[in-house]
Amino acid sequence: MKAIQVSQVGGPEALALVELPVPVPKPNEAVVQIKAAGVNFIDVYYREGRYPAPLPFTIGQEGAGEIVAVGSDVTSVQPGDRVAYTGVMGSYAEYASVPADRLVKIPDQIDFNQAAASMLQGMTAHYLSHSTYLLQNGETALIHAAAGGVGQLLVQMAKRLGARVIATAGSADKAQIARDAGADECIVYTQEDFESETRRLTGGRGVDVVYDGVGKATFDKGLNVLRPRGYMVLFGGASGAVPPFDLLELTHKGSLFLTRPTLVHYIGTREELEQRSGDVLQMITSGELKIRIHKAYPLTEARQAHRDLEGRATSGKLLLVP
């Protein structure tokens, strides 16, 4: 089978197309023929070595496809089932062997591209808005990179919960995408200072929560737009990692809360995985949640997909299709 492997960490050129044997499932695993794989910033972090993994490794954390074989202990799924997953390395490939308890079945109304596009980013938007900081009706959230994959879904979920959304985006076109997703206000940060604009839009009060997947470029000003005892939810670093930070600053800025969550801790049990993925898939099926797929690349174009993602030239989900 064809797969994208990293044998030495680095830039997009570290992604090499290789031939590997089709995996054989362990007793607790199922082999999935990958129909679509999600491209995410966590893949960039592994490729760069920011998140370490034993070399060489087949990259990719998210996929959807059809089961073609199961291990001897597996009873929850069977060959022919349509499934999706996230949080298991190896999805940039034609086949992947995945622990059966990490697989969720896809409703008939959802195709493989939609399923692959919704697992990591959909459940990320869900835990951010429903668990890390449970948005309440009437509260105000600032959502950075609101035209991105997570951003668009987070805007939609925040509005579904009754929140006011102030979004940021890097261009007028991206601002329109954020508005189309439901944002009440959108600040084009390349033209306006988001700190002063957010203060103006909230009458000086500040927002209840900042959802920040950008990191280094937005973090400091993000703290400045929070109300006293507001929440900074830092869930990514698209612009780079936030430098070391003196926690005493949280006191000076209003006894703020700061958290750096990640999805794996919000789908740690089978029960929570089923509940969270089920909510997301149901929202898609009902039409309450719209998945925007920016582009589906052939598996052989993994390097270009990473370049486009890192260049922040995208607005929506990127997929690789074997």
DSSP of 27-58: TTEEEEEEEEEEE-HHHHHHHHTSS--PSSEE
Other C-beta atoms closer than 10 Å to the C-beta of 55 total 11
pLDDT in the model for residue 314: 77
- What does the alpha-carbon distance between residue 207 and residue 256 come to, in Å, rounded to a whole number? 12
Where are the domain boundaries for CATH 3.90.180.10 in the chain? Answer: 2-120+270-321
CATH fourth-level superfamily of 137-260: NAD(P)-binding Rossmann-like Domain (3.40.50.720)
Residue 244 burial by Cβ neighbours in a 10 Å radius (0-12, 13-18, 19+) = exposed
- What does the alpha-carbon distance between residue 250 and residue 8 come to, in Å, rounded to a whole number? 39
Closest CA to 185 of 165, 170, 169: 165
Report helix angle 302-310 to 41-48, nearest 10.
Answer: 110
Give yes or no for a contact between 293 and 319, defined as CB atoms under 8 angstroms apart.
yes
Give yes or no for a contact between 121 and 38, defined as CB atoms under 8 angstroms apart.
yes
Record the tokens describing residue 56, joined without a space: 């060489």
Torsion of CA 292, 288, 100, 293, to 10 degrees: 0
Place of tokens 């929070």: 226
Three-class SS state of 21: coil
pLDDT in the model for residue 191: 94
Q: At a CB cut-off of 8 Å and minimum separation 6, what does 107 contact? A: 281, 285
Q: At a CB cut-off of 8 Å and minimum separation 6, what does 237 contact? A: 41, 213, 214, 215, 216
- What does the alpha-carbon distance between residue 78 and residue 74 come to, in Å, rounded to a whole number? 8
Are β-strands 317-321 and 29-39 bridged in parallel, bridged antiparallel, or unpaired? Answer: antiparallel
pLDDT in the model for residue 209: 98
Return the exposure string of 196-214: e unless at least 16 CB atoms fall within 10 Å of the residue's CB, then b: ebbbebbeeebbbbbbbbb
Cross-strand pairs, 167: 143, 186
CATH topology for the 2-120+270-321 domain: Quinone Oxidoreductase; Chain A, domain 1 (3.90.180)
Give yes or no for a contact between 177 and 201, defined as CB atoms under 8 angstroms apart.
no
Q: At a CB cut-off of 8 Å and minimum separation 6, what does 19 contact? A: 1, 2, 3
Mean pLDDT of successive 10-residue stretches along the chain, which has 322 residues: 98 98 98 97 93 96 98 97 97 98 97 96 97 98 94 97 97 95 96 97 98 95 98 92 94 98 96 98 96 95 96 85 96
Where are the domain boundaries for CATH 3.40.50.720 in the chain? Answer: 137-260
pLDDT in the model for residue 110: 97
**Position 307, amino acid:** R
